[in-house]
Amino acid sequence: MKYRLGGSLRRTLLSKLQCPHCWNKFPVEDVLWIATHPDLRGDPVLSPDDPIRFLPSRFTTSGAALDARGSTCQSLACPRCHLGIAPVLLEHHGRILSIVGTPSSGKSYFLTSCVWQLRQRLGEAFALAFSDADPVSNRVLASNEQQLFLQDDPEKLVFLEKTQLEGSAYDSVQLEPGQATNLPQPYLFTIRPTSQHVNARGAARLTEVLCLYDNAGEHFLPGAENPLSPTTQHLARSKNLMFVFDPTQDARFRARLRGVSTDPQLGQSARAFRQDIVLLEMASRVRLHAGTPADEKLRQPLTIVVTKSDIWKSLLPNEDICTDPYLIDQREEGGFIGVVDKSRVERVSDQLEALLAGIVPEFVSAVRDTALRVLYVPVSATGVSPEIERSSGMLKVRASQINPWWVTVPFIYEFSRWGKVVGSSRDAGAITAETHATDGA
Ligand SMILES: Nc1nc2c(ncn2[C@@H]2O[C@H](COP(=O)(O)OP(=O)(O)OP(=O)(O)O)[C@@H](O)[C@H]2O)c(=O)[nH]1
Ligand SMILES: [Mg+2]
Ligand SMILES: [Zn+2]
């Protein structure tokens, strides 16, 4: 749809968009603007310090809204929760990929290593530009990346804080007057073909917005979800549920691994959670919010991200789970497309499923009961065990030793399902170059 969002701001906008904070879907013409005049403070849904959100009637010639005091505004907000809407969401649907798992399973390390590697590698290996769609809302993740990968002193022991259950990583809004609701902050990225991509001419149409969340593991435990803290409702909107399974949280795995690793997480006193129960809880929340019957398998693919593979890699001796399973398909007509070696990824998945079935059979049964399409992916966010820092007693990793394995595979495999941006070893040839520019690129 061509919509004129004030003045001369002419773009092909979506007719409806989804807020990444409260998941409300609304027509694009209902989007609010954020006042900039200092007198216009005290938004009723946010706080007395927040600028008022409003539906504009006056615009500048360049298409920006004017607030009630005549100041020029730049930023947009959701009509329901009043939180910021990145402008790119007016043109491209956000794809939510949810990361689920028990406390300490390794979700934050996985997300941080994955985003860091996507930034480094998508360009050279897939001709895709991966960038922050909203640098302000991505700042916690950016600071985690800095902590692990951009240390001046390579010998420094580094760590990521446990994800908080509430506080600065969440936004408090009053969806009902007088009732504070806690919403998790989304991380938003755009993925766009570069000029080297075989489909560079269709770059605007093929641009995707990725929407990720880093919940505290406690949010996924049975009984934790409540209407005033709907922190996991992204699950029902997720295009791919990524369940982070941590072998070090299972006593049977720990017993098998003590002979092969000295990782402190294998100690007798390590925390243990029933990961099969948390998986089933996740499935029931998805069904509840999506309105699907209790006995129906989930429609979206389920990726079991088996973390901390640096500890347990020797249990899968016949597979290389360290070097990335990617290839490049160079085209005669110009450009290239990055290809994921699906056969290799699926062979590893089958072997990993068989390994887990032998040690944690109830977890594998729960997975089979939950989803129709399942992929098991081994990852290590650090490539090395943490050590206990003497002075603090905390688990930390030496910055120079961090070397993640396969952390981008769950994402790149998912991207290969979207068509035209990432190929797979089975159908890369089927992706043909666009012959006409769809965006003047
Ligand atoms: N050996 C090893 N340990 C890891 C790896 N990734 C994370 N860890 C350790 O696992 C612990 C928990 O990691 P986090 O990423 O904070 O776990 P989380 O799932 O985000 O936990 P919550 O925020 O409490 O939900 C940390 O002490 C890390 O050192 C890995 O790839 N290998
Ligand atoms: Mg965390
Ligand atoms: Zn909203």
| pLDDT surpasses 50 at 440 | no
pLDDT grade for 11, boundaries at 50, 70 and 90: low
Over the chain, what is the mean pLDDT? Answer: 91
Assess whether the C-beta atom of 105 lies below 6 angstroms from ligand 1.
Answer: yes
pLDDT grade for 441, boundaries at 50, 70 and 90: very low
Give the pLDDT confidence score for residue 426 in this predicted structure.
Answer: 67
How large is the average pLDDT for residues 243-254?
A: 96
Assess whether the C-beta atom of 282 lies below 6 angstroms from ligand 1.
Answer: no
| pLDDT surpasses 90 at 322 | yes
302-336 b/e (C-beta count within 10 Å ≥ 16 → b): bbbbbbbbbbbbebbeeeebeebbbbeeeeeeebb
What span, in angstroms and rounded, lies between the C-alpha atoms of 166 and 258? Answer: 35
* Contact present, 404 and 113 (Cβ < 8 Å): yes
What span, in angstroms and rounded, lies between the C-alpha atoms of 292 and 30? Answer: 29
pLDDT grade for 67, boundaries at 50, 70 and 90: very high
**CB neighbours of 54 closer than 8 A, spacing ≥ 6?**
32, 33, 35, 65, 67, 68
**CB neighbours of 391 closer than 8 A, spacing ≥ 6?**
none
In percent, how much of the chain has pLDDT > 70? 94
- 191-200, pLDDT tens digit by residue? 999 999 999 9
What residues does each domain of the chain span? Answer: 1-91, 92-430
Give the pLDDT confidence score for residue 10 in this predicted structure.
Answer: 52
* Alpha carbon of 93 to ligand 3 centroid (Å): 15
Which of 104, 110, 313 for mutating ligand 1's site (highest number of atoms within 8 Å of CB)? Answer: 104
Assess whether the C-beta atom of 162 lies below 6 angstroms from ligand 1.
Answer: yes
Please name every residue paired with 208 in a beta bridge, in sequence order, or none if there are none. Answer: 191
Q: 240-245 and 2-4: which strand pairing?
A: unpaired
Give the pLDDT confidence score for residue 380 in this predicted structure.
Answer: 98
* Alpha carbon of 19 to ligand 3 centroid (Å): 5
How large is the average pLDDT for residues 271-287?
A: 92
* Contact present, 202 and 437 (Cβ < 8 Å): yes
Give the pLDDT confidence score for residue 419 in this predicted structure.
Answer: 78
| pLDDT surpasses 70 at 6 | no
Give the pLDDT confidence score for residue 74 in this predicted structure.
Answer: 93
Tell me which ligand sits closest to the C-alpha of residue 165. Answer: 1
How large is the average pLDDT for residues 311-340?
A: 92
pLDDT grade for 432, boundaries at 50, 70 and 90: low
| pLDDT surpasses 80 at 21 | yes
Give the pLDDT confidence score for residue 420 in this predicted structure.
Answer: 79
Question: Residue 349's CB: how many other CB atoms inside 10 A?
Answer: 20
pLDDT grade for 5, boundaries at 50, 70 and 90: low
Give the pLDDT confidence score for residue 12 in this predicted structure.
Answer: 80
Count how many residues are written for the chain.
Answer: 441
How large is the average pLDDT for residues 145-159?
A: 96
Give the pLDDT confidence score for residue 3 in this predicted structure.
Answer: 41
* Alpha carbon of 111 to ligand 1 centroid (Å): 10
The residue behind tokens 């109830």 is 362
Which of 99, 100, 107, 109 for mutating ligand 1's site (highest number of atoms within 8 Å of CB)? Answer: 109
pLDDT grade for 38, boundaries at 50, 70 and 90: very high
| pLDDT surpasses 60 at 8 | no
**CB neighbours of 320 closer than 8 A, spacing ≥ 6?**
none
- 359-409, pLDDT tens digit by residue? 999 999 999 999 999 999 999 999 999 999 999 999 999 999 999 999 999
Question: Residue 30's CB: how many other CB atoms inside 10 A?
Answer: 13
Angle at 75 between CA 70 and CA 26, to 5 degrees: 110
What span, in angstroms and rounded, lies between the C-alpha atoms of 174 and 185? Answer: 16
How large is the average pLDDT for residues 108-133?
A: 96
Look up residue 11 and give its two tokens. Answer: 């773009």
Give the pLDDT confidence score for residue 295 in this predicted structure.
Answer: 87
What span, in angstroms and rounded, lies between the C-alpha atoms of 382 and 397? Answer: 8
Element (H, E) at 243: strand 240-245
What span, in angstroms and rounded, lies between the C-alpha atoms of 402 and 386? Answer: 10
Please name every residue paired with 173 in a beta bridge, in sequence order, or none if there are none. Answer: 181
Give the pLDDT confidence score for residue 231 in this predicted structure.
Answer: 87
Query: By three-state DSSP, how is residue 168 classified?
Result: coil
How large is the average pLDDT for residues 69-97?
A: 96
Question: Residue 132's CB: how many other CB atoms inside 10 A?
Answer: 18
How large is the average pLDDT for residues 412-426?
A: 87
User: What is the rounded end-to-end Cα distance, in angstroms, of the chain?
Assistant: 20
**CB neighbours of 33 closer than 8 A, spacing ≥ 6?**
53, 54, 55, 56, 65, 67, 73, 75, 76, 77
| pLDDT surpasses 80 at 119 | yes
How large is the average pLDDT for residues 234-250?
A: 96
Give the pLDDT confidence score for residue 348 in this predicted structure.
Answer: 97
How large is the average pLDDT for residues 19-38?
A: 96
| pLDDT surpasses 60 at 437 | no
Assess whether the C-beta atom of 216 lies below 6 angstroms from ligand 1.
Answer: yes
Give the pLDDT confidence score for residue 27 in this predicted structure.
Answer: 97
What span, in angstroms and rounded, lies between the C-alpha atoms of 172 and 189? Answer: 23
